[in-house]
Amino acid sequence: MTTTLERPTAPPGGGDRKRRMPGNGRLLLGVLVVWVLGWAIFQGTATLEIGGADLTDFHLWLNSIRDGFDQARAGSFFFEYVIGGISAVIDATVTGLRDLLSQPSFPRPVPEIGWLGVVAIFSWLAYALAGLRSAVMVLVGLLLFGFLGYWEDSIDLLIVTLVAVLVCVVIGIPMGIWMARSRRATAVLTPILDAMQTMPSFAYLAPLVLLFGIGPASAVVTTLIYALPPLARITAHGIRSVSPTTIEAARSMGTSRWQILRTVQLPMARRTIIVGLNQCTMAALSMATIAALINGPGLGQPVAQALQSLDIGNAFVSGIAIVIMAIVLDRTTTAASERAEVATRRGGTPRSRRIGLIAGGVVALVCVYLSRLYIQLAQFPAEPDLGTPLAAGVTAFTDALVRAVSGLTSALTSVVSTVLLNPLQSLLAGSPWWLMFLVLLAVAYLAGGWRPTAIALVCLLVILGTGLWNEAMKTLTTTIVATLAVILVALVIGVWMGRNRRADTAVRPILDAFQTIPPFVYLVPALALFGPTRFTAIVAAVAFGVPVATKLIADGIRGVSPTSVEAARASGTTAWQMISRVQLPMARAAVVLASNQGLLNVLSMVVIGGLVGGGGLGYYVVAGFSQGQLFGKGLAAGIAITALGIMLDRVAQYAAARYGRR
């Protein structure tokens, strides 16, 4: 189908400009031809490639800023009392909770509340908020943390996550209410929330280290920035979704705006807000794991250490503990949203439940007392030890599996590298920077028009200014290859799910489970199969990006008008014709949106892949934390990643909007 650059209007002198103007497909083909010809002529010149240890003036300037920050902390009112005060409060809160729940509290050799008390408290809270099933799930999950050998790390990760979520609730829910009730607030805050969600998680780390240093404060603030947007957005959506008729009825009775909010909007939006809290919690857990790179306490540290030493067994066990925590938190918050709706309909708490809450609270208090009294109930027992034999078994199984499939994995890596990665990287990173600059601007214009082109121009100038243009093009290469794989897999599975209810019922829970897993964990099986290479980062990125893209496409296919489908079936179309000529074209907006979301997930995962040999910008972000002289280069890489992510997101969103209108 031929499309035009802008909405068709009658050109001066009459006639139909749409018929005379070549379609975007032809223009894109022309850009590709010019690009390839330019690459063939100028290949290897003006690529702006620099050595791994080389630093530009911008990198040295960022290093000097870091040194200036270190000096400024000593005598600056802002750093000493504002930033220092925030950091001190967060550090004191996290440290106090760790002394209370997970780490020895001097002079005690054990925490203030031992493991039995911690298990009892959290199980009772789960029962109070989400019901008996969730309480049993929390109980089993907490015991598994100890049996796997990661009790302290698990509780530390839970503490960082819950502290960040609590701060998100304090900030995010009022922000969402403000956005729902004020268009100006929405106009001001939406771009900020967009930037917070678009920035790959790695990009948060280096700037916050400058402000808060390395430790719990940086981990909590990083997690807060990443987890706040979904809570604020979903809260605003829930408040806006309250029926206008209900609000008018309340207003006609003389209630004030505050009373309407307190007695009508918040109760009716309660379930939606708790869904936002669920998304906030999962985002916080994901980011708190990655924050281990800046010395954030928790399970991220053993995972990162195991990945760096290629210890697949221990990486798997600690990764399993993270997955268990993700599932427990996800299911508990989901159950809490459902219970909130039931409680609203009932209008009160049944007597049997009140008795259960009181009895459970008494049992929890007794367990806390006993855990303070007996050392065996304060320090998690060493037996049964499930972690050590599981790690050994996983290591043995992985070694055997790698030996068995090494030929297949090597061949797959070689084919993908030879057919896709190497040629595309040669085009992107081997072309002169000015040629790639113009090509990317042309693609942005043809995909979305002038606005994304202007955004792309700013982002490309930022990337150019960081001095890491060549590394950014390498990252863009792996991002494009992984995104293409995500779209292909999501199309096949999504179309199947959209056309087959049984397939949807069988596959969707698997996709939900994969979507629950924090991105850090995806590196473990990918590293086990493919070793430390850039292909490992691509495999992990595909696994991370497929679930959300697949569900969007499935929903888009199912949303196609049944009348159109029946009309096409009556005309004798085959199944393939139905898919290619009816359902996919009519679900094009959903496909483009799925591509956008898949691309953003892929970009964040490809960057994390710098931990396992992914190269590109992610490598320098990681190196910036481990090597002091490369801090400026790592911070510049984070800036370049952010610019690349914003550019890709804006272009994809404008393209989705354009195709959706058509």
pLDDT in tens, 190-228: 888 877 776 767 677 777 877 887 888 888 888 888 889
Task: Determine how many CB atoms are found less than 10 A away from the CB of residue 490.
Answer: 28
Which of the 8 DSSP states describes residue 375?
Answer: G
Tokens of 553: 């496409």
Burial of 619 (0-12, 13-18, 19+ CB in 10 A): buried
pLDDT of 416 > 80? The answer is yes
Mean pLDDT along residues 116-134? 91
**pLDDT at residue 1 in the model:** 37
Angle between helix axes 151-181 and 84-101 (nearest 10 degrees) is 130
User: Is the pLDDT assigned to residue 359 strictly greater than 50?
Assistant: yes
pLDDT of residue 11: 38
Question: Whole-angstrom Cα distance, residue 218 to residue 225?
Answer: 11
What pLDDT is recorded for position 342?
67
CA distance 637 to 647: 15
pLDDT digits (tens, 9 = 90+) for 267-307: 888 878 887 888 888 888 888 888 887 888 888 888 888 87
What is the reported pLDDT for 398?
Answer: 85
CA–CA gap between residue 410 and residue 652 (Å, rounded): 33
pLDDT of residue 661: 57
**In terms of C-beta density within 10 A (0-12 exposed, 13-18 middle, 19 or more buried), how is residue 248 classed?**
exposed
Token pair, residue 28, equals 């894109």
Q: Nearest 5°: CA angle at 478, between 475 and 483?
A: 120
* Contact status, residue 11 vs residue 17, Cβ threshold 8 Å: yes
Q: Do domains 24-47+394-661 and 87-95+156-316 have the same CATH topology?
A: yes
Beta carbons of 478 and 416 less than 8 angstroms apart: no
CATH class of 24-47+394-661: mainly alpha
Is the pLDDT reported for residue 513 higher than 70?
Answer: yes
Residue type, 172: G
Residue whose token pair is 């002394």 = 99
Per-residue confidence at 622, pLDDT binned at 50, 70, 90?
confident
The residue-averaged pLDDT of 261-267 equals: 82
pLDDT-above-90 percentage for the chain = 23
Q: Is the pLDDT assigned to residue 653 strictly greater than 50?
A: yes
Evaluate whether 440 touches 460 at the Cβ level (below 8 Å). yes
The CA distance from 237 to 485, in Å, is 33
> For position 241, what pLDDT does the model report?
80
Q: What is the pLDDT of residue 74?
A: 67
Q: Is the pLDDT of residue 593 over 80?
A: no
Give the pLDDT score at 409: 85
Average pLDDT of the chain is 84
**pLDDT at residue 21 above 80?**
no
pLDDT band at 486 (very low <50, low <70, confident <90, very high): very high
As a whole number, mean pLDDT of residues 381-405 equals 88
pLDDT above 80 for 98: yes
Q: What is the pLDDT of residue 122?
A: 94
Average pLDDT, stretch 424-434? 92
pLDDT of residue 662: 56
pLDDT higher than threshold 90 for residue 78: no
Run of H or E including 645? helix 631-661
Looking up tokens 């004798």 gives 572
Instruction: Give, for 531, the enclosing helix (H) or strand (E).
Output: none
Based on DSSP, count helices (H) and strands (E) in the chain, helices before strands.
Answer: 32, 0
Instruction: Assess contact for 336 and 274: CB atoms under 8 A.
Output: yes
pLDDT band at 369 (very low <50, low <70, confident <90, very high): very high
Q: What is the pLDDT of residue 347?
A: 59
Tokens of 639: 């800036």
pLDDT at 12: 39
Long-range contacts of 303-306 (CB under 8 A, 24+ apart): 303/520, 303/521, 303/524, 304/520, 304/611
- Residue 462 pLDDT greater than 90, yes or no: yes
Extract the tokens encoding 452.
């994304």
Highest mean pLDDT among 127-141, 511-525, 563-577, 641-655: 127-141
CATH architecture of the domain with residue range 87-95+156-316: Orthogonal Bundle (1.10)
Per-residue burial over 383-419, b = 16 or more CB atoms within 10 Å of its CB, e = otherwise: eeeebeebbeebbeebeeeeeeeeeebeeebeebbee
Q: What is the pTM assigned to this prediction?
A: 0.79
pLDDT at 18 over 80: no
Average pLDDT of the residues in 246-273: 81
Domain assignments of the chain as residue spans, ordered by start: 24-47+394-661, 87-95+156-316
For residue 490, the model assigns a pLDDT of 92
Q: Stretch 371-388: mean pLDDT, rounded?
A: 88
| Residue type (1 letter), 336 | A
What share of the chain has pLDDT > 70, as a percent?
Answer: 93
Which of 59-68, 134-143, 192-201, 502-511 has the lowest average pLDDT? 192-201
Which is more confident, 308 or 316? 316
Buried b (16+ CB within 10 A) or exposed e, 162-178: bbbbebbbeebbebbbb
CA angle 395, 401, 404 (to 5 degrees): 145
Question: Is residue 628 predicted with pLDDT exceeding 80?
Answer: no
Q: Which of 272, 298, 276 is nearest to 287 (CA)?
A: 298
Q: Which long-range contacts (CB under 8 A, 24 or more apart) does 265-268 make?
A: 265/180, 265/239, 266/239, 267/344, 268/242, 268/243
CB atoms near residue 231 (< 10 Å) = 27
Kindly provide the b/e burial profile for residues 195-221, where b requires at least 16 CB atoms within 10 angstroms of the residue's own CB.
ebbbbbbbbbbbbbbbbbbebbbbbbb
